[in-house]
Structure 1
């Protein structure tokens, strides 16, 4: 059975440039090992990247030892659901691609919050 998105339909890919996802397969899939719940397909902004850096997760710096190129505004990335919710509450939530956001995200935030930031 295919994983579902927050709309209850089949999960579609989030992004491949850079390659995103818990499995680095371009999709915001998850499993029991994904303690961060990397399930929100977001289009990152400069404001969000700055917020994330100050919150202790620098997503804009390249980390070649982990195969991570660093993100720039406009990149699609599978964010941790709790970090997205934290950013939303602080006023820095990036836009969300609902069709590519895994249904498990609804354990962390409400569909209405995601819809309010949908592209």
Structure 2
């Protein structure tokens, strides 16, 4: 995995700092840049950088958002536990309310997330990227 570095002009994270890369293997982000930046055409607000785990993937699938099944027609191999992925803020909150939220990386979570998920809730699931290895 590449070194996580701030990306210029991608917006700020929920900490008010430049947005970091979320993940490149698989390539994530609404714009498939590796970052959870957003824009007017991102109606799902794919802004939370998640480190997905099995409970999250199972709950997400049960709630109608299957992230683990490969969809080759869209170039999507499916996620597995440990993958980093930019998840829709409302979907993450839905899974959290169902009791299966996964860890998130605040440094790579876009500030627009705060319009949907309170910061106080986000920090309860925060992990430090260097502690993931």
Report the TM-score when normalising by structure 2: 0.87
Structure 2 Cα separation of the partners of residues 108 and 29 of structure 1: 15
Match of 1:113, SS state, is helix
Structure 2 Cα separation of the partners of residues 55 and 70 of structure 1: 16
5 Å-filtered alignment, 1:1-119, equals 1-119=9-127
Which structure has the higher relative contact order (CA within 8 Å, separation 6+)? 1
Aligned length: 119
Give 5+ residue unaligned stretches, structure 2: 1-8, 128-133
Give 5+ residue unaligned stretches, structure 1: none
List structure 1 runs of 4+ shifted beyond 3 angstroms.
none
Q: CA RMSD in A?
A: 0.7
Is this contact kept in 1: 2:103–2:126, CA < 8 A?
yes
Report the TM-score when normalising by structure 1: 0.98
